Chains A and B, each alone.
Chain A
Amino acid sequence: MNWDTWLPLLIVLSSLLVALVIFVLPEDRSKTRTTLNLGGAALKIVLVGIMVWGVFNGHHYETRLPLLPGLDLVLRADALSMLFVALSAGLWMLTTVYAVGYLEDSPHRSRFFGFFSLCVTATVGVALAGNLITFLLFYELLTLATYPLIVHRGTEAARKAGRTYLIYTLAGGALLLLATIWLYTLTGTLEFTARGFLSTLDSSHHPVLVIIFVLLITGLGVKAAIFPLHGWLPQAMVAPAPVSALLHAVAVVKAGAFGIIRVVYDVFGIEFSASLGVTLPLAIVAAVTIIYASMRALFQDDLKRRLAFSTVSQVSYIILGIAIVGPMATIGGMVHLVHQGVMKITLFFCAGNLAETLGIHKISEMNGVGRRMPWTMAAFTIGAFGMIGAPPLAGFISKWYLGLGALEAGQDWVIFVLAGSSLLNAGYFLPILYVSWFKEPAGSWPAERCFGRYETALALLAPPVITAILALTLGLLASAPFSPLEWARFITTLEYAP
């Protein structure tokens, strides 16, 4: 029994077992369920903490189980995976607290929390996957685990959204599978390796590799909601707020983006990718997505849909950062993986609070809501400014590095994309802030509920406040040790070793 070989598996199991137990738990055992959820989340945070510390000190954590002859199921902790694992573990805790409050007394909680935990299991698995087949395994598990969450409400709209989601993701998964196997037949290995494992292949294979790259990115791009594969995401907004928060900030879209990072860095290798000439098209697709989705966001009245389009746009920052070949941009992209997660989850928490407390779903109903729910709207404001990229918030750090990276790599056009997108971000966030803080309330709210002492239930209020503070801290203390920024630098030194 070696701790180093079991820790990655334990991290996955800490939520998987919780999920399985919750599935068989009777509906009315809500105390037990909450204890299990929070206990699992806390345990995972502790384990991840140990792991982060270990990785920083050069420990090598790896679980390896035979899956097929010649192919193992590998869970490995490396610097990049730590970034995502830590994000998932941390935000899972908060989202669980939030979800417990949000779903109080609603039906089917066993099912909901079971799949919720399964979702986190899959996300953590995606993060820790040490080769492409393990990644694929958890990636598809994520598809399956999120489907019941999207259709949770069981309405016709929910079912339709679920269907759309499946059509996109299953098709994407199929492409990913095809590309993975193709790659395997070429190389005989699928292990993620710093700076890739394909550059040694004979150059006659290069055209095939380009096709495989396109297949992989398309397959992953579905979840990362790259234009034009983003169609499922706005529809999926019918899901309950904690699900939207989880889907958009942590689990699904990030799994896609993270997968793209893995493919570009640890399968192809960034320099090899650049030599194949596939990075520039990827950057252009990301840039188009950023601008297009921001424009679409401008015209959404439904708050969650606007946030959804904002997500589509923001996730592509990460991809843009990857595709601009250069260490600075890489830092920007990777750090945005965390920063965007923290900021976007804040926004979704707040949107959920508005819906749950006042019945507000549309921006046109938000007049003066800041006076009724000041804490919530304060958190929202921090998140929104972060998204726009205002200093000293987390978003600013990401954009700063992206911009520097673009200049460093000689891709000056990116600056215009960043600037344009920031303007558009401001264009769709500032009006919300304006109406909610400065307009007079309309008199009554669509469906107000009273929660006693605070403006809303404590379980609903605390998570966005915490994440907002986090977004602020991540910006202010960006250079502190173990901050995402420092960690991203750490990763980059590995990928761009001289």
Chain B
Amino acid sequence: MIEMHWVVIVILLPLTGAVVCFLWPRQTVVSGLITAVGLFASVLGLTWQVLEQGALRYAVGGWGAPLGIDLYVDGLSLLMLIVTAVVGLAISVYSSAYFRLDRAKHFWPLWLFLWAALNALFLSADIFNIYVTLELMGLAAVALVALSGGANALTAAMRYLLVSLLGSLFYLMGVALLYHSYGSVDIAILSQRVESSPAVWVAIGLMVAGLLLKTALFPLHFWLPPAHSSAPAPVSALLSALVVKASFYILLRLWLEVFPLTNTVPGQFALGQFGLAQILGLLGAAAVLWGGIQALRQTRLKLLVAYSTVLQIGYLFLAFPLASIIGWKAALYLLLAHAVAKTAMFMAAGNILFYGGHDRIADLDRVAQRLPLTLSAFGLAGISLMGLPPSGGFIAKWLLLEAAIRSGQWWWGLMLIVGGLLTGAYVFKVIGYAFTRSDLPHEPGFVPKRMEWVALVMALLAIVLGLFAPLPLALLEIGSPFGESLR
């Protein structure tokens, strides 16, 4: 049997789909859906292949690093691909009902391009290639935000574009310094060569700054709430679930493989990295507080959900000062759970908006009871975000707390607890309105059942993730992206 090049297929298929959608706008929804299903299956194929063979390296063009570009799949990238596939499929189904044709014909090519960019990004082992995928992702994301039209969305998209380009340039400057220091842009080669030097330090600073900007870590989050809240609901979902995670993934990858300098004498650098990790942890903690408080203060549902993303991103950075395998796994599990739950939440918000024509939280009592499926989705997703059992969020929180206590830095764990309580407060602020019933002031919009069910399925998935944690956690072990033993 011919060896299947799943690694390539998961990049080429969405690109092909995008091209097909672009060429035949009238059939765009069908082509898009077929692509989404095919892509989901391909990622399953890749998963199976990786489970059988272990971590894979694929030399595009047959050259191999350092001259050519390598693709690399290990547990970490595979998990990201799976998250993208799951969320992507859900978003595709949701969008097939959400957009009318005049916007669908723009949405589908852009979305499939974005999907291709994400997959290419997660698979790339080349930091310059990652720059190209970052730009591909950023432009697609901006265009998708702008799709809702209107002053707020366009302004938000504009700001997002500038931020995205700025972040990319910082990153690219870092790439330039690294390349000119070590003559390679391949992550594996760099990880063997990198030593402590001023250029490397400046490169780290630039790349971390650029990626933090793209990941919207406090205080660089200013662009996120307007962009994520004014985009169309499925776009908000994919931005929060996937796009901000992509830059986080790069940061994590570089942190784990390029920055640690495991083969150099521990000393100055280790200390420096420790300091940087503490700073990232502090920013994460600040993000938890700020995002939580801001979410509580919002009067509009989508903004609330967007600020909740700011908070959850803060969680991810609490893993940096812990620097343990459990901590990284916890962060990745959190990323997974958050992606699924936030997708459900934005979809639910989108349904409410669709139905009631607005998303003012104070008037939700007019809507919530009439959309029980949507409300259940919101509530279940909220449980996972709060980190209550049984849910994916709980597993992640448990692991992160465990890592915090084991590393003797329990105060980071405390931030998790605080964040959970803040999340509880804003989630129930919304849920509280579900139990009263008021009259609708106007004719409600029709919400296609598909949109309600997809939201609910994703929310249920967030819950189920709390019961089947060993599987994804074992998947993450493939290729030991986090190192062999506790550092």
Direct touch of chains A and B (CB < 8 A) = yes
A159–B399 contact, CB under 8 A?
no
**Which of A23, A69, A181, A185 has the most C-beta atoms of chain B within 10 angstroms of its own C-beta?**
A181
A174–B402 contact, CB under 8 A?
no
**Which of B390, B420, B467 has the most C-beta atoms of chain A within 10 angstroms of its own C-beta?**
B390
Interface flag for B174 (CB, 8 Å): no
Which A residues are in CB contact (< 8 Å) with B402? 181, 184-185
Interface flag for A68 (CB, 8 Å): yes
Which B residues are in CB contact (< 8 Å) with A181? 398, 401-402, 405, 413
Task: Bits for B364-396, please: 1 = Cβ < 8 Å to A, else 0.
Answer: 000000001000100000010010111000110
Given A66-B470, A69-B473, A185-B402, check contact A178 B413 (CB 8 Å): yes
Interface flag for A461 (CB, 8 Å): no
Which A residues are in CB contact (< 8 Å) with B424? 166, 170
Which B residues are in CB contact (< 8 Å) with A68? 395, 398-399, 469-470, 473
Give the nearest-CB partner of A148 in chain B.
B435
Give the nearest-CB partner of A23 in chain B.
B376
Minimum distance in angstroms from A221 CB to a CB of chain B: 17
B435–A141 contact, CB under 8 A?
no
Interface flag for A136 (CB, 8 Å): yes
B432–A178 contact, CB under 8 A?
no
Measured CA separation A171–B424 after assembly (Å): 10
B467–A163 contact, CB under 8 A?
no
Interface flag for B97 (CB, 8 Å): no
Given A67-B469, A136-B389, A163-B428, check contact A154 B405 (CB 8 Å): no
Q: Tell me which residues from 434 to 479 in chain A have a Cβ below 8 Å from any Cβ of chain B.
A: none
Which B residues are in CB contact (< 8 Å) with A147? 428
Give the nearest-CB partner of A151 in chain B.
B435
B467–A178 contact, CB under 8 A?
no
Choose among B372, B388, B437, B473 the residue that contacts A144 (Cβ–Cβ < 8 A): B388
Measured CA separation A141–B386 after assembly (Å): 13
Which A residues are in CB contact (< 8 Å) with B362? none
Measured CA separation A66–B473 after assembly (Å): 12
Minimum distance in angstroms from A201 CB to a CB of chain B: 15
Q: Tell me which residues from 133 to 150 in chain A have a Cβ below 8 Å from any Cβ of chain B.
A: 133, 136-137, 140-141, 143-144, 147-148
A185–B405 contact, CB under 8 A?
yes
Given A68-B395, A148-B435, A162-B432, check contact A137 B389 (CB 8 Å): yes
Minimum distance in angstroms from B454 CB to a CB of chain A: 17
Interface flag for B450 (CB, 8 Å): no
A154–B389 contact, CB under 8 A?
no
Given A68-B398, A136-B389, A140-B389, check contact A177 B417 (CB 8 Å): yes
Q: Tell me which residues from 453 to 487 in chain B have a Cβ below 8 Å from any Cβ of chain A.
A: 467, 469-470, 473-474
Which A residues are in CB contact (< 8 Å) with B297? none
Interface flag for B436 (CB, 8 Å): yes
Which B residues are in CB contact (< 8 Å) with A182? 405, 410
A140–B436 contact, CB under 8 A?
no
Interface flag for A12 (CB, 8 Å): no
Which A residues are in CB contact (< 8 Å) with B410? 182
Interface flag for A152 (CB, 8 Å): yes
Interface flag for A173 (CB, 8 Å): yes
Which B residues are in CB contact (< 8 Å) with A173? 388
Q: How many residues of A contact B (CB 8 A)?
A: 37
Measured CA separation A73–B395 after assembly (Å): 12
Interface flag for B41 (CB, 8 Å): no
Q: Tell me which residues from 399 to 444 in chain B have a Cβ below 8 Å from any Cβ of chain A.
A: 399, 401-402, 405-406, 410, 413, 417, 420-421, 424, 428, 432, 435-437
Minimum distance in angstroms from B423 CB to a CB of chain A: 10
Q: How many residues of B contact A (CB 8 A)?
A: 32
Measured CA separation A111–B473 after assembly (Å): 35
Measured CA separation A163–B470 after assembly (Å): 35
Which B residues are in CB contact (< 8 Å) with A69? 470, 473-474
Which B residues are in CB contact (< 8 Å) with A178? 401, 413, 417
B420–A174 contact, CB under 8 A?
yes
Give the nearest-CB partner of A107 in chain B.
B437
A154–B470 contact, CB under 8 A?
no
Minimum distance in angstroms from B160 CB to a CB of chain A: 34
Given A140-B389, A144-B388, check contact A174 B467 (CB 8 Å): no
Interface flag for A382 (CB, 8 Å): no
Interface flag for A319 (CB, 8 Å): no
Which B residues are in CB contact (< 8 Å) with A73? 467
Give the nearest-CB partner of B436 in chain A.
A154
Give the nearest-CB partner of A178 in chain B.
B417
Minimum distance in angstroms from B368 CB to a CB of chain A: 11
Minimum distance in angstroms from A10 CB to a CB of chain B: 17
Choose among A66, A137, A154, A184 the residue that contacts B435 (Cβ–Cβ < 8 A): A154
Measured CA separation A342–B297 after assembly (Å): 45
Choose among A23, A65, A66, A159 the residue that contacts B432 (Cβ–Cβ < 8 A): A159
Which A residues are in CB contact (< 8 Å) with B390? 137, 141
Which A residues are in CB contact (< 8 Å) with B383? 144
Measured CA separation A24–B399 after assembly (Å): 34
Measured CA separation A23–B467 after assembly (Å): 21
Interface flag for A158 (CB, 8 Å): yes
Which B residues are in CB contact (< 8 Å) with A155? 436
Given A68-B469, A141-B389, A154-B437, check contact A171 B421 (CB 8 Å): yes
Task: Bits for A170-190, please: 1 = Cβ < 8 Å to B, else 0.
Answer: 110110011001101100000
Give the nearest-CB partner of B429 in chain A.
A163
Which A residues are in CB contact (< 8 Å) with B405? 181-182, 185
Choose among B372, B401, B432 the residue that contacts A177 (Cβ–Cβ < 8 A): B401
Choose among A23, A133, A143, A174 the residue that contacts B421 (Cβ–Cβ < 8 A): A174
Which A residues are in CB contact (< 8 Å) with B474? 69
Measured CA separation A141–B389 after assembly (Å): 7
Give the nearest-CB partner of B399 in chain A.
A68
Give the nearest-CB partner of A174 in chain B.
B417
Pairs A–B under 8 Å by Cβ, sample size 19: A67-B467, A68-B398, A68-B399, A73-B467, A133-B398, A137-B389, A137-B390, A162-B428, A162-B435, A163-B428, A163-B432, A166-B424, A170-B420, A170-B421, A170-B424, A173-B388, A174-B421, A178-B413, A181-B401
Question: Which 7 residue pairs across A and B have the least CB separation, nearest first?
Answer: A154-B435, A137-B389, A154-B436, A181-B401, A174-B417, A151-B435, A185-B405
Query: Which B residues are closer than 8 A to A by beta carbons?
Result: 372, 376, 383, 386, 388-390, 394-395, 397-399, 401-402, 405-406, 410, 413, 417, 420-421, 424, 428, 432, 435-437, 467, 469-470, 473-474
Query: Which A residues are closer than 8 A to B by beta carbons?
Result: 23, 65-69, 73, 111, 133, 136-137, 140-141, 143-144, 147-148, 151-155, 158-159, 162-163, 166, 170-171, 173-174, 177-178, 181-182, 184-185
**What 13 additional pairs, Cβ within 8 angstroms, besides A151-B435, A170-B420, A171-B421?**
A23-B376, A68-B470, A69-B474, A133-B398, A154-B437, A174-B417, A174-B420, A174-B421, A177-B397, A177-B401, A181-B398, A182-B405, A184-B402
